[in-house]
Amino acid sequence: MKNRKRTLTYFEIFAYGTGGIFINLAGVCDQFGMYFLTNVAMLPAAVVGSMMMLGTIFDAVNDPIIGGIVDRHQSRIGKYRPFLLFGGFLTAVVSVLRYMVPDLDQTGKIVYYMILLCLFSVGFTTCTLPWQAMMSVLTPDYHERNVLLSTRSISGNLVGMLINGIILTCVARLGGNEENGWWKFMAIAWLVAIPFILLCQYGMKRVDYKDALPSPPRQPFFSRLRGLLSHKPVLCLSAAVAISSIVISLSNVCEMYYYEYVLHDTGVLARTSVFGAPVTIACALLMPFLLKWIDKRQLILIGFAVSLVKPTAIAVFGTALSADCVVVLIIISRAGTALLSAAIYAWTPECIDWVNYKEGVACAGLITAASTFMMKLGRALGQTMAGWLMSIAGFSAGAEITGSVVAQILRINGIYPIIGLCLTMVPILLFPISHRQAAEIRDELAARK
């Protein structure tokens, strides 16, 4: 039996999907953050890794706190929309400041960037949590939720591919590899993204307005969080997100080092963006239709197998791979990662429904925060590992690249992701909600209403 309390309009689907534009633009700040701090701001790699770890741990701790605040908040324009607006604008301003180099000594720079990393985490969390939670609030329908997931994946992938394809060229034209080129590019990109922040929150107004969404009863914060993590679906989802985030972050922050010091061709970044965009977008378009016929766990396993292609080839062939070959491998693996990540995050509504079914209260913000907390904790560990692994191998910006540094870069892009992807599968296989059980829970919740 299918229960459709509401049907999403095309405008609502489109407006929600545009959230992927500014969310993924913020993600680009982290993708190039380590490269900028070591090669432009000229900070030591180990220091940068530690800074990013501390900043991301601070970011992760914010998630459940802000998630609880969002769930209990009520305003004249709704529960989630005010946070989306405030967080979006704060993230835009801080993202530009992160790519400026202040006229300070090394200690002053470290303090400057640590403050900005903390402010960035507050802004990014404040806009991301309500946006992700709204996927479960906008509609109770299984297929419509998957359509929303697909739409946001398409917009996010388009932005990611576009920026990766043009960023180095634009930075060079706006001021070279000095800080002027970087902050000017970020300023232009966020000026384009800000209208989509406004559009995204406007698309939520039919379901998110004053007193439209009930708030859960007040309860000690950490008791509530422990209670949520005691639910096996929430725990499995959070663990899978954490481990996969370590893998993705570790390889992402070191991709530029691989292109520059192993392939000696930074143009790989632009080529993978151009040729990979159709593949990644096709995966996102197919997602709702695939999930009609394939269980999410099976789709995750398919994505896992495809994601192994690039790291396996790098681990086996090392420096023998040509730049063109690597472009093909990256495109294949990104298709796998797109399926893997989307299917994992598609379990979030099931977790929200499960807790609502068991406890009789919806906590979309806090449950979303639990998984994003683990995602950011994993990202912090991945960034820290990258900085320390590069430092241990002897990497220093401006110094000669030794054989040990090249070997370490190969391991970071090869054997380490293989180990991490295999570990990700453990909580995936233990996730307790089947496709049939999820449908039964949705029907029961609809009947209660």
C-alpha triplet 208, 209, 211: angle, nearest 5°: 105
- Supply 30's token pair: 């982290």
Q: Are 142 and 438 in contact (CB under 8 A)?
A: yes
Counting residues of the chain whose pLDDT is more than 90, the rounded percentage is: 7
pLDDT average, residue stretch 229-245:
84
Secondary structure (DSSP) of 245-286: HHHHHHHHTTHHHIIIIIIS-TTHHHHHHHHHHHHHHHHHHH
Q: Distance of alpha carbon 128 from its chain centroid, rounded?
A: 9
Total residue count of the chain as it appears in this document? 449
Check residue 98 and report its DSSP letter.
H
For residue 35, pLDDT over 90 is answered with no
For residue 313, pLDDT over 90 is answered with yes
Q: Greater confidence, 297 or 369?
A: 297
pLDDT in tens, 14-25: 888 888 888 888
pLDDT average, residue stretch 264-290:
77
Which ranges in 360-414 belong to alpha helices (H)? 364-392, 403-413
User: For domain 10-209+223-448, which architecture applies?
Assistant: Up-down Bundle (1.20)
- Residue ranges per structural domain of the chain: 10-209+223-448
* pLDDT grade for 353, boundaries at 50, 70 and 90: confident
pLDDT average, residue stretch 355-365:
73
